[in-house]
Amino acid sequence: MTKKTELDPQCINGTIAYAVTNRGHLIPCCRCDDPQTMNDSEFQKLLSVSKISDYNSINEILQTKEWIEFEENLKNNKGPHACFHTCRKNKEEKDTQVLKIIDPEKNKILHKNSR
């Protein structure tokens, strides 16, 4: 029996910010702006109601049935590629990213952040 991949949607719990594409669409996070996710037929439904210039506020976009359905799908472990790549629970170590800022003169790590 295979274990079902579970999501911990960071866009819902507020640990990752919404993003705006260069075409002016609100998306759940910047990691969704990749070809595989942007061309996903289900994600296209979300994009069709996400053009910021068509609304008076971001909250109006988030209250559309498409965004509400997207959030419910994430809660039920259904979503596009970027969501599983970024927000799946129990990621393997090889899937994590580490950001290091190194002072080249002192060859010393100034900051290390693991995501």
Residue 5 lies in a domain: no
Q: What is the pLDDT of residue 96?
A: 46
CA distances from 87 to 20, 25, 45, 64 (A): 19, 21, 21, 23
Residue 2 lies in a domain: no
State the total domains in the chain.
1
- Which of helix, strand or coil describes residue 44? helix
Residue 61 lies in a domain: yes
Domain ranges, residue 94: 10-114
How high is the mean pLDDT of the chain? 85
Q: What is the pLDDT of residue 5?
A: 83
Q: Greater confidence, 102 or 33?
A: 33
Residue 89 lies in a domain: yes
Q: What is the pLDDT of residue 68?
A: 97
Q: Give yes or no for residue 53 having a pLDDT over 50.
A: yes
Q: How confident is the model at residue 1 (pLDDT cuts 50, 70, 90)?
A: very low
52-80 per-residue burial string, b: 16 or more CB within 10 A, e: under 16: eeebeeeeebeebebbeebbebbeebebb
Nearest CA-CA partner of 74 in 25, 30, 10, 29: 10
**Structure tokens, 32:** 């969704």
Residue 4 lies in a domain: no
